[in-house]
């Protein structure tokens, strides 16, 4: 059985997909943080 993550008791997401999604979020946060530090918040998506 594949490990899963339960979100609000309504959604069941495979653990591997949740890890991929969180990596994408972390990368976007880092890009936004760098753009903000460089004084270019308009570059933030």
Question: What is this structure's pTM?
Answer: 0.67
Check pLDDT > 80 for residue 43: no
Residues 6+ apart with CB under 8 A from 25: none
Domain boundaries, the chain: 4-43
Three-state secondary structure readout of 3-24: CEEEECCCEEEEHHHHHHHHHH
Compute the mean pLDDT over every residue in the chain, rounded to the nearest whole number. Answer: 86
pLDDT value at residue 27: 94
Quick one: pLDDT band at residue 20, thresholds 50, 70, 90?
A: very high
pLDDT value at residue 21: 95
């Amino acid at each position: 059985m594949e490990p899963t993550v339960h979100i609000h008791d309504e959604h069941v997401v495979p653990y591997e997909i949740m890890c991929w999604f969180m990596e994408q979020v972390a990368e976007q946060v880092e890009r936004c943080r760098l753009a903000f530090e460089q004084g270019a918040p308009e570059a933030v998506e």
